[in-house]
Amino acid sequence: METNGLEIEIKNLTIKAGKTAILNNLSLKVKKGEFITLLGRNGSGKTTVLKSILGITKPASGSVEIAGTALTGAAIRAMRLKTGYVPQYFSSENDFPITSGDVIAMGKNRKQAAIWAREMKLENTVDRPFGSLSGGEKQKVMLAMALSREPELLLLDEPNLNLDISAYRNFIALVEKLKSRLNLTVIYVTHLTGHIPKSCLRIVVMKDGEIIMDGPKNKILKNKNIERIIYG
Ligand SMILES: Nc1ncnc2c1ncn2[C@@H]1O[C@H](COP(=O)(O)OP(=O)(O)O)[C@@H](O)[C@H]1O
Ligand SMILES: [Mg+2]
C-alpha cells in the first residue's frame, strides 16, 4: 500500500461557540508524512483542531486547505475518505448488536478488516460484541477501523485515555511502525508532556485556542517552564 501522506494548511482559523473563540486566528502547516504532537491542557482546543481538519466545525473566519484544496463541500468528503480518525471518547451499549469485526469493517471492507484484525492481534475479538471489549481492545479496534480505510492521514485524539500503560506503549509502537511503513501524516493529540511518541519530532503547544509554541520536541521539552506554560 503506497501513499504519500497529506499536507495540511490551516490559515488564520477562528472557530466560535456563541461569542467565545474556541480557536483564535490559528495557523498551522503540517507537511506530508510528518508526525506531530498537539500538546495542551484540557480545553485548549486540540480536539477542535482535529474536527476542523475533518470539516466538522464551521469556521467563523480563516480556512483549512488539504493538499492545496480548500476544505469545502466535496473536498470535505474526499478528505474524510483519506483520513483515519480515532476520536477521544467512544462508548457503546453492551447489548448493541455489533461485533468487533463489524466495527473494523466500517472502515472499508471485510477483507481489509481481517488484515488489520490480524495485524493488531484482534482476531479473538472479531466475533465478540464491541461493547464487551476492554477499553484497550476498543481503542485498538478503532485504530484498526481507521487503518482499514487505507488513510493518508491519521488523527489520534488522546488515545492514552482508555489504555493502561503497557497497552498504550503497544498502541504507540504500532502507530509508529505503521506511520513509517505507510508514510502517513500523523497528528497525535495529548495533554501529557510524558506521552509524546519517540518518533514524533515536532511539538505544537496550544493554549486558549492559540498555538503558543511550535518546534522540535527536544527544544520544547527542554524548557524548564514547559509544565507551567502548558498547565498554568
Ligand atoms: N460545540 C461546542 N460548543 C461550545 N463549546 C465548545 C464546543 N466544543 C468545544 N467547546 C469548548 O471549546 C474549548 C476547547 O475544546 P476542545 O477542542 O475539546 O479542547 P481540548 O481537546 O484541548 O480539551 C473548551 O472550552 C470546550 O468547552
Ligand atoms: Mg480533546
Distance CA(79)–CA(190), nearest Å, equals 23
The grid coordinates listed for 62 are 480563516
When pLDDT is averaged across residues 152-168 and rounded to a whole number, the result is 86
Centre of ligand 2 from the C-alpha of residue 38, in Å: 10
Q: Give me the CATH number covering residue 161.
A: 3.40.50.300
Residue of minimum CA distance from atom 18 in ligand 1? 47
- Look-up: residue for cell 468487533? 100
When pLDDT is averaged across residues 106-112 and rounded to a whole number, the result is 79
Q: Which atom of ligand 1 is nearest to the CA of 157?
A: 21
| Residue 135 counted as domain residue | no
| Residue 118 counted as domain residue | no
Helix (H, G, I), strand (E, B) or coil at 223: coil
The predicted pLDDT at position 86 comes to 87
| Residue 103 counted as domain residue | no
Distance CA(2)–CA(184), nearest Å, equals 10
When pLDDT is averaged across residues 221-228 and rounded to a whole number, the result is 93
Residue of minimum CA distance from atom 26 in ligand 1? 43
Which residues lie below 8 Å from residue 177, measured CB to CB, with a gap of 6+?
A: none
Give the number of whichever ligand sits closest to the CA of residue 46. 1
Residue of minimum CA distance from atom 25 in ligand 1? 43
Q: Is the CB of 45 under 6 A from ligand 1?
A: yes
The predicted pLDDT at position 39 comes to 97
Q: Is the CB of 51 under 6 A from ligand 1?
A: no
Give the confidence band of 32 by pLDDT, cuts at 50, 70, 90.
very high
Q: What is the pLDDT of residues 177-214, one digit of tens each?
A: 889 888 899 999 999 998 899 999 999 999 999 999 99
Residue 220's domain spans which residues?
8-82+151-231
Q: What is the pLDDT of residues 111-137, one digit of tens each?
A: 888 888 898 889 999 999 988 988 888
The predicted pLDDT at position 197 comes to 92
Whole-number mean pLDDT of the chain? 88
| Residue 142 counted as domain residue | no
| Residue 106 counted as domain residue | no
Answer whether 98's CB lies under 8 Å from 55's CB.
Answer: no
| Residue 189 counted as domain residue | yes
β-partners of residue 65 are: 9, 70
Q: What is the pLDDT of residues 79-101, one digit of tens each?
A: 888 888 888 866 655 666 678 88
β-partners of residue 26 are: 13
- Which ranges of the chain does DSSP label H, i.e. alpha helix? 46-53, 73-81, 100-105, 110-119, 135-148, 165-182, 217-222, 226-231
What is the distance, to the nearest Å, from the Cα of residue 227 to the centroid of all Cα atoms in its chain? 23
Q: Is the CB of 40 under 6 A from ligand 1?
A: yes
Give how many domains the chain has, as a whole number: 1
| Residue 92 counted as domain residue | no
| Residue 87 counted as domain residue | no
Specify the higher pLDDT residue, 46 or 112: 46
